[in-house]
Structure 1
Amino acid sequence: MKTLGLIGGISAESTTVYYQLLNRGVRERLGGLHSCPLILWSVDFAPVATLQAAEDWDATGGLLAEAARRLEAAGAEAILICANTMHINAPQVGEAVKIPLIHIADATAATLKARGVARPLLLATRFTMEKAFYRDRLVELGLSPRVPEAGDRERLHAIIYDELCQGVIRSESRDEVVAIIARGQAAGADGIIFGCTEIGLLLDPANMPLPTVDSAVAHVQAAVDFALD
């Protein structure tokens, strides 16, 4: 079994989900007392979020690349960035190490296509919804992603940073996101991406009106496949 290196803390709330799901996935595949060999580098999210707000992606890329190098030196055999937004720095992270980077968008796209989705509604941070790094990768993989309207994007971004990343779950916010999804469905979306690793803390994919892929879950499944290959 291969050892996985996790760049976590972005946010800590969703990193705990990664830890649980990775170990559960290995146990379900191998049985008994098996769990997943993991090395975690958990960053302090506050300075990272400040750099995000300042659009200083070179600085965030340097932080994540250094984390990846340390994970590789510690024995990791693949890297996972435990966040969608920080895959904006996937090129820097990939170039910093000799081991593979398991990309969250690749895992998400493969799961969507297996479910017959072509036009997924991308629910994520404003950075992930508006910048090209994530949407273009989905397009390259054969999808036609949609994003909410500008006001909905701002509200969703606020829910993620002001609530979910801080462990706050509000039923009112759940209702707001459900309404955003309804508007996306009316505009032609045929599936949903939980494109922020915290959204699964607020909503259950099983309760959505369209086929839904939680990117964190898809990422974990791809990582377990790698670890057990």
Structure 2
Amino acid sequence: MKKIGLVGGISWTSTLDYYKYINEGVNEALGGLHSAEIILYSLNFADIQDKGWLNSFDLLLKASKELEKSNVDGIALCANTAHLFTDEIQKKINIPIISIITAAAQEVNSRKIDKIGLLGTKFTMEMDFYRKKLNEHQIEVLIPETLSDIERIHYIVKEELGKGIIKESSKKEFVKFSEDLIQKGAQGIVLGCTEIPLLISEKDFNSTPVFDTTKIHVQAILDFILDEN
């Protein structure tokens, strides 16, 4: 079993899920008292917020390099927005980064879907780093049309879910945002923020596939660490 390095704390609420799901997956696969060999570098999310995501490359690179020094076999950035810098970080380290976007794209492809609605932080929805990777897998991306909706989604993610605050009213809003995208032609909804699955899931919709990027990323991590090659 390979050793995995996690860049977490972005935010701590979703990092908890990563730790739980990875260990559950290893134990299910190997049985007994087996659990994952994990080294976690948990960032102070306030530092990211103070600098802003666009200026946080050095923080993420430092965390990745420290994990590399710890002799992990691969790294996972435990946030969708952090993948803004995946390509740049990969060029500066000598171990693989397991990409949440690539894993999500492969899962969408496996469901024979070519148009999805994307919910995430303002950066994930508006910038092209996420959309470009999905487009490379022949997946068209729809996002909410109005700036007010985008900013509302970002606020809930940052000020509520990132602090572990779950509100029924916010859940109803996210269901409405998703339904709007479905009406515009989205065949599935990608929860492009690792906190959003704390609020909504596929159970909240009748027949539309909902892609939980946290669980999808965890499965890619499990495939990596359990692969004997």
Per the TM alignment, residue 28 of structure 1 is displaced from its structure 2 partner at its CA by 1.3
CA RMSD of aligned residues (A): 1.1
Aligned to 2:145: 149
**Equivalences for 1:33-112 in 2 at 5 Å?**
33-52=33-52, 57=54, 59-112=55-108
Question: What's the secondary structure of 1:145's corresponding residue?
Answer: strand
Find 2:167's aligned residue among 170, 174, 183. Answer: 170
CA distance in 2, matches of 1:133, 1:39: 27
Question: Is contact 1:39-1:76 (8 Å) kept?
Answer: yes
In the superposition, the TM-score normalised over structure 2's length comes to 0.95
**Amino acid aligned to 2:27:** R
Residue 196 (str. 1) matches residue 196 (str. 2): no
Question: Is contact 1:117-1:211 (8 Å) kept?
Answer: no
Q: Please identify, of 9-18 and 199-208, the stretch whose mean Cα deviation from structure 2 is larger.
A: 199-208
Deviations for 1:38-90, whole angstroms, at most 9, x for unmatched residues? 000000001201222xx6x2x41111111111101112110100000011111
CA distance in 1, matches of 2:122, 2:172: 19
Gaps in structure 1 of 5+ consecutive residues:
none
Question: What's the secondary structure of 2:189's corresponding residue?
Answer: strand
CA distance in 1, matches of 2:197, 2:179: 17
**Amino acid aligned to 1:95:** K
Deviations for 1:102-140, whole angstroms, at most 9, x for unmatched residues? 010000011111112211110100000000011101001
Gaps in structure 2 of 5+ consecutive residues:
none
Question: Is contact 2:26-2:34 (8 Å) kept?
Answer: yes
Aligned to 2:25: 25
CA distance in 2, matches of 1:208, 1:110: 22
Question: What's the secondary structure of 1:120's corresponding residue?
Answer: strand
Per the TM alignment, residue 10 of structure 1 is displaced from its structure 2 partner at its CA by 0.3
Question: What's the secondary structure of 2:141's corresponding residue?
Answer: coil
CA distance in 1, matches of 2:189, 2:18: 20
Q: Please identify, of 76-85 and 27-36, the stretch whose mean Cα deviation from structure 2 is larger.
A: 27-36
**Runs of 4+ that moved beyond 3 A:** none
In the superposition, the TM-score normalised over structure 1's length comes to 0.95
Per the TM alignment, residue 149 of structure 1 is displaced from its structure 2 partner at its CA by 1.7
**Amino acid aligned to 1:222:** A
CA distance in 1, matches of 2:19, 2:33: 16
Per the TM alignment, residue 32 of structure 1 is displaced from its structure 2 partner at its CA by 1.9
Aligned to 2:123: 127
Q: Please identify, of 131-140 and 26-35, the stretch whose mean Cα deviation from structure 2 is larger.
A: 26-35
Question: Is contact 1:2-1:227 (8 Å) kept?
Answer: yes
Per the TM alignment, residue 91 of structure 1 is displaced from its structure 2 partner at its CA by 2.0
**Amino acid aligned to 1:216:** T
Question: What's the secondary structure of 1:39's corresponding residue?
Answer: strand
CA distance in 2, matches of 1:46, 1:208: 34
**Amino acid aligned to 1:177:** F
Per the TM alignment, residue 185 of structure 1 is displaced from its structure 2 partner at its CA by 0.7
**Amino acid aligned to 1:155:** R
Number of residue pairs aligned between Structure 1 and Structure 2:
225
**Amino acid aligned to 1:115:** R
CA distance in 1, matches of 2:142, 2:189: 9
